[in-house]
Structures are given as structure tokens and as C-alpha cells.
Amino acid sequence: MLARFLLFSLIIFMSIAVNMPDSMIVRLGFDANYLLAALVAVVIAALTVHRRMLLVLLLLACTIGANLPHEMADYLGLDRDILFATLIALVIVPFLTGRVGFR
């Protein structure tokens, strides 16, 4: 219970810190890029604890990426075919292993 409270507090603090103006972040002695990287790392770590939510977010990201227009996908450096294959794997593999929801 305490660990969950600390994790949510850390995520809230870093979310607020990342959204502050750059001059204020520098005054506090942080680098915005490092704060953003740390926030992403903490969120991904928290999502791996709750695997079902991570699966939903991965499915959402792959669905959006696989349906991007060709020009936008090329601009972002994404391969739509790989995202589509990943989307299929995310849907099929849990059923093949009998572990729907990655419990």
C-alpha cells in the first residue's frame, strides 16, 4: 500500500515537473529530457505490474500506428507492417498460451 502511494506520488511529481516552463526546470537543477525519460520509465514499470493495462495500451499504440497514413508513418520512422504484425501477435499469443490477459 505504501509502495503504491509512493509510486503514484512520484508519477504525479514528475508529471508536474515535466510540464513546467524550461526556465523553471533549469532553476530547479533538472534537465527536461531526463525528467521525461524518468517519467516514461516509471510509468512503464508501473504498467508492467498491472499487465492488463499494459496490454491495453500496447494494443492501442499498435492499432494507431498500424493505421497511420503512409506519409506520417514514414516521417515518424515507423513501419506499419511491423506494427500490424505486433498487433496480431499481441492478440493471438495470449490465446495460444491459454493466458488471456497475461495474468
Helices (H), 1-103: 2-18, 22-27, 32-49, 51-66, 70-76, 80-97
Q: What is the pTM of this model?
A: 0.51
Do 80 and 66 meet the contact criterion of CB atoms below 8 Å apart? yes
Report how far residue 21's alpha carbon sits from residue 12's, in angstroms, rounded to the nearest whole number. 16
- What's the pLDDT tens digit per position in 31-90? 778 877 887 887 777 776 777 777 778 888 888 888 888 898 889 888 888 888 888 888
Pick from 68, 54, 57: nearest CA to 103: 54
The predicted structure's pLDDT at residue 100: 56
Mean pLDDT of 2-23: 79
Report how far residue 42's alpha carbon sits from residue 77's, in angstroms, rounded to the nearest whole number. 25
Residue spans per domain, the chain = 1-49, 50-103
pLDDT confidence band for 98 (50 / 70 / 90): low
Do 103 and 94 meet the contact criterion of CB atoms below 8 Å apart? no
Residues making up the chain, counted from first to last:
103
